[in-house]
Amino acid sequence: MLAPQPFFEPRGTPFSVLGRLRALSVLGHEVHLVTYHLGQDVAIPNVAVYRTPRLGFIRQVRVGPSVTKLFLDVLLMAKAIHLLWRGRYDLLHTHEEAAFFGILLAKAFRLRHLYDMHSSLPQQLRNFRYTRFRPLIRLFEVLERWAVNASDSVITICPALEEHVRQINGHVPHMMIENVPSEAAPERALATSRESRNVAQLLGNGKKIVLYTGTFEAYQGIDLVLGSARRVLDERRDVMFVLVGGQPHQVQHYRSRIQDLGFSDHFLLPGTLPPQDIPGFVGHSDVLISPRTSGTNTPLKIYAYLQSGKPIVATNISAHTQVLTPEVAVLVEPNADAFARGVLSVLADPSRARERADRARDLFEQRYSFSGFVEKTQRALEMAAR
């Protein structure tokens, strides 16, 4: 398996890679993962991790396309060639842009190839504002089309990406596998967490906790949260916004903005936390928010939000509505005023919010359980092996 990401870091694609590895482990497969030199070691039965050479001058890889990733991908390919040359494998499983050279390696070593497609890479170039240079975007469109057509099987993670693949090639063997959590539900983890009391003290007794978890990239809507805070706090002074995630420079930027707005007493930004610490925050929250303003891929956090059984407020965009409905979440237009009204409506009517949250948990158990995730992974492997 080739994963061109820091593994493990608590963000989108690495979480997806982690879930895929756990599913393959449950299925009894032996996996050799090739990934960057960055990231935390995670012990998974039947999984061996091989990293690119450690480079002291590269200490982090930001979310989205970058020259740094391009350089590390060359090292990743070299490491993969080394392992393929000396070992015997049945399948080459690539994530994201690793498919571009993974297909060539699979042909050279006579292996089947499975393309794990977490996003449309040309769309990423636009979403992350990496470039507006049309020939470069066009090149990635051509590479993406070639990767889909040349793969033996393709995995996508949401309906929008599934439809995108079908538009490229409606005949390629394909399986959509949503990025569901592979850990215990937050309230079960909370019940046994030794850090539970510390989290409660940190958040403040008596506060209504509005929680966001994820990256702080522009499309995630952190600015939208700040814009909605004034109206929320005008009506309720017992609210604490907790924003978990972000790179240190992003956290400092938003802390400065919050201070300028005079909201410091009502915001907590603890930065990026280890995954095992997140359930404590979820368990003590009153509202879970996803203020994303653009994009079509469903955020991984949405499945964890459903699993939690906590009230959800999310923007009414396709990234959310592929999974969320008004029956399981409060969906609002992506503007500050509408978002504030959504948060206040949950806090004002806890009984109705609880009904939605219960339906959300039921939806998760029916459609997005980890056992279903494992079954779909097995079917994707069978497609690639035919």
DSSP for 239-273, written as a single string = EEEEEE---HHHHHHHHHHHHHHT-GGGEEEEES-
Dump pLDDT digits (tens) for 28-63: 999 999 999 999 999 999 999 999 999 888 988 988
Q: What is the mean pLDDT of the chain?
A: 91
Distance from CA of residue 151 to its chain's centroid?
24
Could you tell me the CATH superfamily of domain 186-367? Glycogen Phosphorylase B; (3.40.50.2000)
Percent of the chain topping pLDDT 70: 92
pLDDT at 194 over 50: no
Q: Which CATH class is domain 2-180+369-385?
A: alpha beta
CA dist 120 → 85, 126, 190, 192, 371 (Å): 30, 10, 36, 39, 27
Average pLDDT over residues 79-92: 95
Distance from CA of residue 318 to its chain's centroid?
16
The CA R_g of the chain, rounded to the nearest whole Å, is 21
pLDDT at 11 over 90: no
Cross-strand partners of 315 = 332
Question: Is residue 192 very low, low, confident or very high in pLDDT (cuts 50, 70, 90)?
Answer: very low
Q: Do domains 2-180+369-385 and 186-367 have the same CATH topology?
A: yes
pLDDT at 321 over 70: yes
Dump pLDDT digits (tens) for 285-303: 999 999 999 888 899 999 9
What is the 8-class DSSP label of residue 313? Answer: E
User: How is residue 225 written in tokens?
Assistant: 């949260």
Give the side-chain half-sphere CA count within 13 A for 386.
11
What residue type is assigned to position 66 of the chain? S
pLDDT at 229 over 80: yes
The domain limits of the chain are: 2-180+369-385, 186-367
Percent of the chain topping pLDDT 90: 76
Looking at residue 129, its pLDDT comes to 58
Q: Is the pTM here over 0.95, yes or no? A: no
CA dist 316 → 44, 268, 296, 329, 335 (Å): 37, 25, 12, 10, 10
pLDDT at 309 over 50: yes
The DSSP string of 288-311 is EEE---S-SSPPHHHHHHHHHT--
Cross-strand partners of 47 = 31
CA dist 353 → 9, 200, 307, 384 (Å): 32, 22, 15, 43
Which contiguous run of DSSP H or E holds residue 26?
helix 12-26
End-to-end, the C-alpha distance of the chain in Å comes to 19
